[in-house]
Amino acid sequence: MSDGIDQTWEWTGFLWVDKTNSNQDSPGPRFEHALAYHEGESLTYLFGGNGATNDIWSWDGNIWSDVTPQSGDMPPPTREHAMVYDPNTNLVLVFGGHNGSTVSNALWTWDGMTWNEISSHNVSDTSKPSPRLGHAMVYDDVSGDVLLFGGGDPEGYCGNEELVCQDFWRLITDTFEWEQIFDSEMEDRPLGRWGHTLVVDESRDTVILLNGSETYSAAGYIAKTPIDELWEWNGSYWAQIDSDNGPGATVDHAMVYDYRRQSTLLFGGRNYSNKEMNDTWYWSGNKNTIATFDLKDTGVENISHITNFGVSAVSNNTETLVDISLFNTGAWVNKGAGNGEIAWETDNIRTIQESFAKSSSRFITALTSFDVEAGTHDNFNWDYVEVRVTYDRDSEVGDAPALECGDGVVSVHLGEQCDDANEVEADYCNNDCLKIGSCGDGIIQEAAGEVCDGDTETIECLYHCRVAMVIDDGTGMNDSDAGVIDETATDAGN
């Protein structure tokens, strides 16, 4: 095991971007640290990690800043702790971990400037979780509480041979009181574990628990045997979810909920062979994945530099294809199917630029798996999506003509309802690219079969403007089937 790496990366939704700056201060190489995003301050905080360190750093998207207080109370050097932001109190919470000499169950808060110890380490206090490490915590926006599950139990407080905890707790942050969620009578619930993750899927009000190791060893991470299990908590009971063809068994991975794509993002971890992984997965929770690609992620400033654009995806069900839809001019348009290969690509400049028509630099896709035999679309479980772009930053391939009424492309974002690429008014689509094919609009739509049209469908213009009644002119003729328009009729459209 190395001493960690000193790198900072950001995930854009399709690409990892190295944000490391060797000319600036950084937290330095480490592992077994914890991160929490502070919504109120729009900052990510990092605390602790392996070695004797209790420094705390903030990341604003570009620069790391050491915000460790120079005086006052603060947690001891800590590793394998849990850290979470609580919007109710606007505080970052840190619980448990190994402090260099023992495993702790102390609770600390960070307000952006100072630390405050809410409850100190106390092995005999049964009103809160026992000392542990490698546990998982998450803020549940449905209950408004912080949830904690499991953890490694090297000192045996949880009372089992595996030396892992199976208990499930909520922290009521208004009073900082712990309350155990009594689920011992539940037949279906996760076994005790450590090195797992908890994430709240806010689109489905569900807590997700993934993988971990069901046995603790004094050898620590070296002896962690990962498991391949996905569980969901709906606020009342646990349910194990079939997640075949996903990332597989992992321990010490990282997960976070991606608000923009309404899916849970997983990165890395260790597999059965203790190999460090660097794969990236999305869990969409049995619903379609909406993925957004920003042109700026490639470093290209103008769409006109793009020479080729393609999308590929992988479903967790190998017996299905993957339909990829492009949200270009305001409507979902299917662009083919594939599984792991390029599902759709083009080098047509107009098509590329129409794909970005909703935004000058944003491309949006939706993914669904398609069952060929049943002829139905199913939802994804684990899925992977990739956008591939070929571009020439030095020379522009040229802009396609500007999107406008009359170009034959229905540009919903421009207010168009139709576009037939002509200047004929009487064919359902007028010169303003608005649909006008309804009877009663005052325009005779000859191409639509209308022979008359007034402000309303009157007795003189019958059957949805398909028949004109001839007014008796004194000759005794009154042939409603004559198909002749009486030029004096108010519904003639003149």
Average pLDDT rounded to a whole number, residues 335-362: 52
Q: What is the pLDDT of residues 135-177, one digit of tens each?
A: 999 999 999 999 999 999 999 999 888 899 999 999 999 999 9
pLDDT of residue 448: 63
| Confidence bin at 387 (pLDDT 50/70/90) | low
Alpha-carbon distance of 154 to 170, in angstroms, equals 22
Tokens linked to 277:
């992984």
Instruction: Please tell us whether the domain made up of 289-391 is placed in CATH 2.60.120.
Output: yes
- On the question of pLDDT at 312 being above 60, the answer is no
pLDDT of residue 423: 76
Instruction: Describe the strand order of the beta sheet including 136-140 as a list of residue ranges.
Output: 136-140, 145-152, 164-172, 177-180
Tokens linked to 381:
């479980």
- On the question of pLDDT at 55 being above 90, the answer is yes
Contact 195, 224 (CB under 8 A): yes
| Confidence bin at 434 (pLDDT 50/70/90) | confident
Q: Is 90 exposed, middle or buried (0-12, 13-18, 19+ CB in 10 A)?
A: middle
Any residues with CB less than 8 A from the CB of 245 and at least 6 apart, and which?
316, 317, 318, 381, 382
232 sits in which H/E element: strand 230-233
Q: Is 84 exposed, middle or buried (0-12, 13-18, 19+ CB in 10 A)?
A: buried
Alpha-carbon distance of 336 to 351, in angstroms, equals 15
Residue given tokens 């005999």 in the structure block: 124
| 3 state SS of 329 | coil
pLDDT of residue 295: 54
Main-chain phi, psi angles of 70, to 5 degrees:
-85, -10
| Confidence bin at 25 (pLDDT 50/70/90) | very high
| 3 state SS of 370 | strand
188 sits in which H/E element: none
Q: What is the pLDDT of residues 177-186, one digit of tens each?
A: 999 997 556 6
16 sits in which H/E element: strand 16-18
| 3 state SS of 367 | strand
Contact 311, 13 (CB under 8 A): no
Tell me the one-letter amino acid at 51.
Answer: G
- The residue ranges of every structural domain in the chain are 9-283, 289-391, 402-433, 437-494
pLDDT of residue 173: 93
Q: In the beta sheet, which residues pair with residue 10?
A: 17
- On the question of pLDDT at 1 being above 60, the answer is no
Buried b (16+ CB within 10 A) or exposed e, 12-22: ebbeeeeeeee
Tokens linked to 179:
């309350």
pLDDT of residue 355: 57
Q: DSSP alpha helices (H): ranges in 339-470?
A: 349-355
- On the question of pLDDT at 125 being above 50, the answer is yes
Alpha-carbon distance of 236 to 452, in angstroms, equals 64
Quote the distance between the C-alpha of residue 115 and its chain's center: 32
Nearest alpha-carbon partner for 153 in 94, 95, 194: 194
Q: In 111-224, at which residue ranges do the beta strands (DSSP E only) sit?
A: 115-119, 136-140, 145-152, 164-172, 177-180, 197-201, 206-210
Contact 245, 382 (CB under 8 A): yes
Tell me the one-letter amino acid at 452.
Answer: C
Q: What is the DSSP string of 78-136?
A: -BS-EEEEETTTTEEEEEEEE-SSSEEEEEEEE-SS-EEEEE---TT-TTSPPS-BS-E
Contact 78, 99 (CB under 8 A): yes
Contact 5, 29 (CB under 8 A): yes
Contact 152, 164 (CB under 8 A): yes
| Confidence bin at 357 (pLDDT 50/70/90) | very low
Q: In the beta sheet, which residues pair with residue 180?
A: 169
* Fold of the domain built from segment(s) 9-283: Neuraminidase (2.120.10)
3-state secondary structure 282-312: EECCCCCEEEEEEHHHHCCCCHHHEEEEEEE
| Confidence bin at 343 (pLDDT 50/70/90) | low
pLDDT of residue 83: 98
461 sits in which H/E element: strand 461-462
- On the question of pLDDT at 304 being above 90, the answer is no
Tokens linked to 142:
């449905």
